[in-house]
Chain A
Amino acid sequence: MSNLPDIEERIRPLLASEPYKLNVDEHQSALLALLKDELAYACGRSASICNYVERWPIDYRTSSRIADLPFLPVGVFKSDPPLALVDRSEITRTLASSSTTGQVPSRVVLDAGTAKRMTKGVMTIIRDFIGPTRRPYLVVDTAATLAGSGELGARGAAIQGLRSFATELVCCLNSNPAGDLQLEVERLLEYATKWKDAEVLVYGFTYVIWNHLVKALKDHGVVLNLPNARILHSGGWKRLQQQAVTKEVFASGVADTFGCSPNRVIDFYGMVENVGVVYPDCEQGNKHVPAFANVIIRNELTLEPVALGQRGLVQVCSVLPTSFPGFLLLTEDIAELIHHDGCPCGRRGTAFRFVSRAPKAEVRGCGNIETFRVRSSANIA
């Protein structure tokens, strides 16, 4: 029977080691046993998780590969109350996803141990990309995004995740009474003047950086002259695709605005349900899997892992969370498998590229019924 201290003890070395040094086989064997024990632990903590895991077509106890372990679709985290493996009294924070208007956000609960590992996980990964030094941290968002101690949104969680690299934090947006984001130009220019030759860390959601900083400054022909800035961004491309802004256009536009090279603009993929794990682009444009996590790209027809060069639904795996069942999660994103090993950037293990959110089915036809005629589905149910 798995117990939490034992699991925590086994996570520790994975978090402490260099994140991208294991080859695929070493990586798989390091994770498989731990994930099985985490599943057993989750079953012991939650009857509903146990009901799901025990109904899985393959007995996880005898599985010889991570791909056979029971995964949860991320949609289950839209439930209320959120799925938890800890008592309510142990929950220190709830993270909520950024959801599009009218949609229910996903929510995951953190206890102290998971929160600590989350911070450590993000630090370990980001350090590999930007180095360990602390530096001035410019947040392209409002201070209000970080406020509140109970529930934190995806933007707030991402901002907080990078705080360990900050000497000081400055937010350069505010919101007007109507709730629209506005750039605090004077504050930003002051900041740029103060830190013009320094290594600066910049973070914002992709569409926030583009819509509220790049476009605003471009309109006024302003360049910030921060050649040593590292600009990290995440949060999806959907809103920018509508404006025909590609990844390359974005990187070059941001670089022009900051007066730095486009290769200092780093896109990373992540989601609140996959706490402590982010996937920054390497200089080859690939995303890599750290030692304490895994990514399986599954063919949508068979749900089997795809071959190199093929696309499919992304499953993220992480040994970090113990406060909620977030070990093995099938996302609604599509990615392409690039390498099992051997990316020229030198990072070992699986490499992939994010493609898009899985497009919604266009028309499901005459059987696609959402509401009953006389009464709502809620009433009939």
Chain B
Amino acid sequence: MSDLIQAVISPEEIARAAMRLREVALDKDLSPRSVLELFERWAAALSGNGTEVIPGAPFLRLWLRRGTLEPILERELGQAVLNGGWREEGQAKLRAFPLGVVGHWPAGNIEIQPVLSLSCSLLGGNACLVRVPSDLVEATHLLMERLRAVDPTGMLLERIKLVTFDHSREDLQMAMARNVDGAMIWGGDEAVSRVRALPFPHWTRLAVFGPRLSFAAMDAETWNKPSERFSWCQRIARDVWQFDQQACSSPQVLFLERGGCGDVSPFMDELRQAFRAENQAHPRREIHPSLTSAICLARASWLLDNVANKAWFSQSPDWTILLGEGTNIPKPTQGRTLTVLLVDDLFQVISKFDGAVQTLGLAIGSAEKEEALAHAAARRGVDRIVKLGRMHVFASPWDGMDLIRPMVRVVRHVPSQDNAGSARDRRERIVSDIKRGENDPESCKSA
């Protein structure tokens, strides 16, 4: 293990680490502006240095830029947040304060997620206790080394403790839960349920980003347009390839609306080309044997179950395209296995969605139609409706939730002295006094 990520073996180690983090979080203010400045430097340091092989690293570089995060901060916490201090609201003054120590339980399948998750709570001024899943230790270490290079005084690093331990160590999971004031929990059903059930103190705020599914959809006007077809196929391939199609925002099924255009062959040819090209550009470096088995089974089952079904795939488990029709949504296989379903009406597909669907990637010719589809999807529980090719662009809100605000307390201060009220109040009083003075010279004198 490294000095950046500690393999912990006892609950006491976790409790001690949390205590130190809490002292830092409570004793030292961390202004969003200084966090943004350091993040900007971190982003710049993520070019090269071996981090380029980490899936999602290019996105992380963008995410950490001031241009990305400043608007998110302002939208979630108000425009005054960057200047620090209190903002006024009527008689009261408001200001965001950190919860204290935020525990992070990232999913085990997204290499950059430990960093994404902690970045959200650092922007709220919190300290972070992060359980790094065993498969992500190496990638997280590389990313954190870059932070260390740009944070020599440890302004952020002193607020971050990365730990790793086997997920089955219930005592360590419990120790983490008992010592945090907020928790950001990401992952699949089983993992999320297990973490939620841990003995958090009653004040701990939980932000849960549980398992979701994502789909893509195109209307005939788009998939049948020769001039644009290949670039759409490239965008689809990009969305499928990132995170090996195991992210909640990964498209599992692409719905193609027929719209009177019968022959899907040219589109499928170009989709195949795009998959091959993407595979060449981003070859898989490793795969779990059970995923290989699942991919082989998905190919065979698809073709055996219905003789009208078609499929194209590489001889390796690298990529798979399954073509069929109808609105029946097959169980996702992941691992770059995209099911393409021809449908008569995209609205019919959307009517079958529920809150399990997170993202709908769209390529629709008509803006009015797209708006109607987006509205229908949102009503059915979809939280993100984005352009194809941008399905993984991590942004706030995510899963319909803000990313920074859940981990801050917005403190309300109503001053005890009226004359210590807001500037607006003071202005109003002065104006009113002046007006009174104009009518009453004596009063004006006394003022």
Contacts and interface: CB of A to CB of B under 8 A. Distances in A.
Interface stretch (A175-183, A245-253, A373-381): A373-381
B119 interface: no
A302 B213 CA distance: 27
Contacts of B316: 301-304
B303 interface: yes
A365 B210 CA distance: 9
B293 A372 contact: no
Most buried by B among A50, A300, A313: A300
Contacts of B315: 57-58, 68, 303
A79 interface: yes
B307 A51 contact: yes
B329 A366 contact: no
Contacts of A362: 108, 135, 167
Contacts of A1: none
Contact of A48 (B209, B248, B303): B303
Given A52-B303, A303-B315, A368 B290 contact: no
Interface string A49-62: 11110010110000
B378 to A, nearest CB: 15
Given A365-B109, A367-B248, A373-B381, A51 B313 contact: no
B356 interface: yes
B228 interface: no
B268 interface: no
B293 A366 contact: no
Interface stretch (A125-133, A208-216, A353-361): A353-361
Interface stretch (B89-97, B148-156, B184-192, B439-447): B184-192
B256 to A, nearest CB: 18
B293 A330 contact: yes
B292 interface: yes
A48 B307 contact: yes
A73 interface: yes
A183 to B, nearest CB: 34
Interface in B90-145: 107-110, 133, 135
A373 B210 CA distance: 12
Contacts of B293: 73, 75, 313, 330, 332, 358
A250 to B, nearest CB: 25
Contacts of A34: none
The secondary structure that dominates the B interface is: loop
A381 B330 contact: yes
A330 B314 CA distance: 16
Given A47-B307, A313-B289, A57 B313 contact: yes
A304 B315 CA distance: 9
Contacts of B330: 381
Contacts of B354: 372-375, 380
A380 B352 contact: yes
Interface stretch (B294-302, B417-425, B430-438): B294-302
Interface string A29-57: 00000000000000000011111100101
A330 to B, nearest CB: 6
A303 B289 CA distance: 10
The 5 residue pairs across chains A and B that have the minimum distance between CB atoms: A365-B109, A368-B188, A365-B107, A374-B354, A366-B248
18 contacts: A48-B304, A49-B304, A55-B312, A76-B300, A76-B304, A79-B305, A300-B287, A300-B288, A300-B317, A366-B188, A366-B211, A367-B247, A368-B211, A369-B213, A372-B356, A374-B355, A381-B328, A381-B329
Interface of B: 107-110, 133, 135, 167, 186-191, 209-214, 243, 245-250, 252, 284-293, 296-297, 299-301, 303-307, 309-317, 328-332, 334, 352, 354-356, 381
